[in-house]
Amino acid sequence: MAPQTPPPRRTPLNRDRVLHAAVALADRSGHEALSMRGLAQDLGVVPMALYKHVANKEQLLDGMVDVIVGEIEPPAAGAHWKNAVRGRILSARRALLRHPWASRVMESRPAPTPGVLGYLDSVIGAFRAGGLSADLTHHAMHALGSRVWGFTQDLFPAPPDDADAGEPAGLPGEMAARYPHIASIAAIAASRPHDGDSVVGGGCDDQFEFEFALDLLLDGIERLHRQGWTSAG
């Protein structure tokens, strides 16, 4: 008799394999489908095995955030501060768009991870390198809010695909009657192409809307900077 073959030895688990498997699972099945048990099954392992590599689910989510932050491209050197900030934010947006669950997970973290702090530090650094005061930069960061990550909370969720296509524009007739002002701008929204699935959280947070708002804020900040604005005066 040949000696019993040992049980198949999988490549041993480590934190990185766990984190990347979690990202892959969330990419495939969405944020709400990400459970410790489901992740363990993906890795061919019993749920408890994960707890040797991440302390708990919160730490798993923190680790996933840093995986995504790691995908943001390094800053461009030598650009004007407005272009430097703009470029950094649009790169973050591209990373977040690759992982539709990422914005929601990001929002859910009670404390910033090292990766998050590093990215924020670099954005602040870009403002300061342009000569903006610490005061103005502080308020600029608050004004940008989640937009520094390249996403925004959307207010008009995308209507379901089976929405009545025979309607004049945007909204079904009953709703248009009840919410006339929404109907008036929904007609505009329906008449311009939105980029279908490159959407964070559904709706029409497309590239045009994002850059419109980003530039509105950056232009306003630039104007205050040139006026020598301070929060004291």
Partner DNA sequence: ACCTGAACACCGTTCAAGT
Could you tell me which of 57, 95, 122, 117 has the C-alpha nearest to residue 200?
95
Is residue 207 part of the contact set for DNA (CB under 7 A)? no
Residue 53 or 128: the one with the smaller Cβ distance to DNA is 53
The entry of a second copy, DNA, none near residue 207 (CB within 5 to 8 angstroms by kind) is none
State the DSSP code for 52. Answer: G
Each as own residue / partner, the long-range contacts of residues 220-225 (CB below 8 Å, 24 or more positions apart, any chain) are 220/143, 221/132, 221/136, 221/140, 221/143, 222/82, 224/136, 225/130, 225/131, 225/132, 225/133, 225/136
x/- track of binding to a second copy for residues 128-147 (CB under 8 A): x-----xx-xxx-xxx-xx-
Is residue 187 part of the contact set for a second copy (CB under 8 A)? yes
- Residue 56 beta carbon to DNA: minimum distance, rounded to whole angstroms: 3
DSSP, collapsed to helix, strand or coil, labels residue 35 as coil
Amino acid at 110: P
Amino acid at 74: P
Query: CA angle, 190 as apex, 184 and 196 as ends, to 5°?
Result: 145
x/- track of binding to DNA for residues 49-88 (CB under 7 A): x-xxx--xxx------------------------------
The sign of the dihedral angle between the CA atoms of 15, 41, 62, 207 is: positive
CA distances from 122 to 13, 51, 75, 76, 141 (A): 33, 33, 8, 11, 12
x/- track of binding to DNA for residues 7-46 (CB under 7 A): -----xx--------------------xxxxx------xx
Is residue 230 part of the contact set for DNA (CB under 7 A)? no
Q: Which of 79, 125, 172, 199 binds a second copy (CB under 8 A)?
A: 125
Q: By CB under 8 A, which span of 19-27, 48-56, 71-79, 116-124 interacts with a second copy?
A: 116-124
Distance CA 212, CA 228 (A): 24
The entry of DNA, a second copy, none near residue 120 (CB within 5 to 8 angstroms by kind) is a second copy
CA distances from 109 to 64, 65, 183, 209 (A): 11, 9, 36, 26
- Interface with DNA by CB under 7 A: which residues? 12-13, 34-38, 45-49, 51-53, 56-58
- Interface with a second copy by CB under 8 A: which residues? 107, 110-112, 117-118, 120-122, 124-125, 128, 134-135, 137-139, 141-143, 145-146, 148, 152-157, 175, 178-182, 184-185, 187-189, 192, 202, 204-205, 208-209, 212-213, 216-217, 219-221, 224, 231
